[in-house]
Structure 1
Amino acid sequence: MPNPLFDGVVAHRVTTPRLTANVLERPAADGSTTGIPVVFIHGNVSSSLFHQPTMLALPAEVRALAIDLRGFGDSETLPVDATRGVRDFSDDVASVLHALGVERAHLVGWSMGGGVVMQLMLDHPELIETVTLEAPVSPYGFGGTAGADGHRLDEVGAGTGGGAANPDFVARIDAGDTSDESPTSPRTVYRTAYVKDPSRDTHEDIWVESMLTTKTGVDNYPGDSVPTDAWPGFAAGRRGVLNTLAPTNFDTSAIAGLAIKPAVLWVHGVDDAIVSDGSFFDINMLGKIGAIPGWPGDEIAPPQPMVTQTRAVLERYRAAGGAVTELALEDCGHAPHLDQAAAFDAALAAHIGAA
């Protein structure tokens, strides 16, 4: 396995009252720790390693930081209280920034990390200079909602949370599987769901290593679930990563009403297999195509229009005075910073330069 750290990137251990976190840094060219840094928050089943190409591509005067969330990468493994939504993660990030002496930052959140950034907008607005949402989870969470307004389908989050994870995928993470022998191996999932064209990238082994840092179990990934009489027979639990994004626990749509609105850049791929208006990681979508039997139909369990929901919230944000730029990239999957690196890097540099 190659060294997972790229030349020019260094790792730090940062201890806060909440956790000991691993932080990657691409220092500013002059070694300065002053100025406004760019802070990257990774998504689910990944780590800060994924952000290294973007960190290195930023202008030389930028201090770039990437934080491993609890239970991912080389950060401390601590239980995740999903009843707080993603606040265990967002409060951790805030504590790390305080420990580093970072008073304000340009925040970049990828996938679940986008949800963490939106929660920071609500709970820690003083930390934020600008926001970049890369293929973010819907402001209404993952699964179990419908319509542009994100209304919940039921009170228990049927079909969402920890029970929605493929158990073989979880077992292969736990076993450290680096093969491509199965559709559920992390390497295959990376190739088929994270990026549109894996042949473009020469760092696949590092990305798979990053995925395999995910800590498994009911308190981490994927979390617990509870039985329900509603299809598909399970509902959101109260522990672990996937339950943080269940609609019973997560809703950041209130960002539209913030009094102070940092400029937002929203970047997403039009071929995203994970966050879309027809995601094949949405249990209701899998039921609709017949992959899970017994689907009760669109009236009861429609697929979640994830991108439509994000757009609706950001349109309200803009209408209330916030600056929003949307960049929808063609030939691009769930990782625009890998699939369309040049376009993503240029958009991010322009966005933070315009602050």
Structure 2
Amino acid sequence: MVRSHFLHSNRIKMHYLERAGDGPVLFLIHGNGSSSVFWRKLMGRLPASYRAIAPDMRGYGHSEAAVVDATRGFDDFVEDIAALMRSLEIEQAHFIGHSLGGGMLFAFASVYSEKVQSLTLVNPASPYGFGGTKGVDGKPCMPDFAGSGGGIVNPEFVQRLIKKDRSLADLNASPKAVINRYYWRPPFVPNNIEELLESLFQEKIGEKHYPGDFYKSSNFPFVKPGIYGPMNAASPKYLNGMASAFIYAEKKFKVLWVRGADDEVVSDESVFDPGTLGKLGLLPDYPGAEVYPSQPMVSQTRYVLEQYAEHGGSFQEVVMQETGHTPFIEKPQEFITHLDTFIQELKIDNYEKIRK
């Protein structure tokens, strides 16, 4: 049974879901526009031995509406996870991160590699951040990182979140329409869609929360990162060095990278990326693909994981067909099979090492 808990760490009041088990411990980290609820049904279907813990990150779900200091990159989230582990007296765990949560785990695994038994990344944000970079090595398109941060979020979408609009009135801004179009591959719709939508509405909104503040820029697309909130924390401006820190982390662990073949959120042509929108003529004064191409998010992740493997780590890539941004919701049993196989193989590998 999946149970709901609250815990006061030395940092914040955090809500989390937990499914008891006497075997491997899994930490499931949600992405933006979601919460622990997105993992709930999967947790109930896991093999009985797994102990699964899914926190609401700060500013999401039922956790405290604590401010995210974006100038620290993902460090506020990283330290919250570490504090939760200490409070629960968990030394090590297997970590699974989805979307922005995957980006948070790139940072967590860089700082707390000794706590990571394995890392599963599910359609993760690029290790260089979201928006404003080009090439597999993540060079900024503009010197001020224009096109990343809180300013690239559709303001009409934010207003409809505030109003808790459950309609399908605007296919590009009504929250229910957006998640049904981009979170999973149409025509699939989860049977708990209303629960997931309510989870989205629980996200804390404002200049110090989502989407965060921003500043005007003289460079396309004419907004640059502010200093608060998760979208600014995901800006490459504040994640400088995270990819290298991950590649050269002291302790190496195995990485499972799972992605939906039809994901349009995290892709080399993301429909939420200013470069893509500019090429489609949906943003004015586009300077051209040579100056501001679509961010190659998938290619960037692969490049960093290949570099990680060259420096002593290892990874495997699994592409789930006919799935979008949330394969663990769209095809939960297939996802569990990939995850369980990965972790069981780790146990065998560790046993063989002990025998030798």
Taking structure 2 as the reference length, the TM-score comes to 0.94
| Equivalent in 158, 161, 168 of residue 146 of structure 2 | 158
Q: Find the counterpart in structure 2 of residue 127 from structure 1.
A: 115
Q: Which runs of 5+ in 1 are unaligned?
A: 1-7
Q: Find the counterpart in structure 1 of residue 17 from structure 2.
A: 24
| Equivalent in 191, 196, 206 of residue 207 of structure 1 | 196
Q: Deviations over 1:264-323 (max 9, x none)?
A: 000011211100000010012101110111101012211100000000011111122212
Query: Is 1:58 equivalent to 2:46 in the alignment?
Result: yes
Aligned-residue offset at 1:126 = 2.1
| Equivalent in 263, 266, 270 of residue 272 of structure 1 | 263
Matches within 5 A, 1:1-355: 8-28=1-21, 32=22, 35-183=23-171, 184-251=173-240, 252-254=242-244, 255-355=246-346
* Cα distance in 2 for residues equivalent to 1:142 and 1:270: 19
**Amino acid aligned to 1:279:** S
* Cα distance in 2 for residues equivalent to 1:98 and 1:315: 32
8 Å CA contact 1:197, 1:339 repeated in 2: no
Q: Deviations over 1:1-60 (max 9, x none)?
A: xxxxxxx211000111110000101112xxx4xx54101000001000000122112110
* Cα distance in 1 for residues equivalent to 2:24 and 2:111: 20
Aligned-residue offset at 1:198 = 4.8
Moved more, 266-275 or 340-349: 340-349
Taking structure 1 as the reference length, the TM-score comes to 0.94
* Cα distance in 2 for residues equivalent to 1:291 and 1:181: 20
8 Å CA contact 1:155, 1:248 repeated in 2: no
* Cα distance in 1 for residues equivalent to 2:75 and 2:161: 25
* Cα distance in 2 for residues equivalent to 1:202 and 1:36: 29
Aligned-residue offset at 1:253 = 1.1
Percent identity over paired residues = 39
In angstroms, what is the RMSD of aligned CA positions? 1.2
8 Å CA contact 2:121, 2:256 repeated in 1: yes
* Cα distance in 2 for residues equivalent to 1:12 and 1:305: 39
Q: Deviations over 1:158-180 (max 9, x none)?
A: 11110001111111111112222
* Cα distance in 2 for residues equivalent to 1:354 and 1:206: 34
Structure 1 segments (4+ residues) deviating >3 Å = none
8 Å CA contact 2:133, 2:295 repeated in 1: yes
SS at match of 2:14: strand
Q: Which runs of 5+ in 2 are unaligned?
A: 347-356
Aligned residues: 343
* Cα distance in 1 for residues equivalent to 2:248 and 2:112: 15
* Cα distance in 2 for residues equivalent to 1:341 and 1:282: 28
Aligned-residue offset at 1:200 = 5.0
**Amino acid aligned to 1:124:** Y
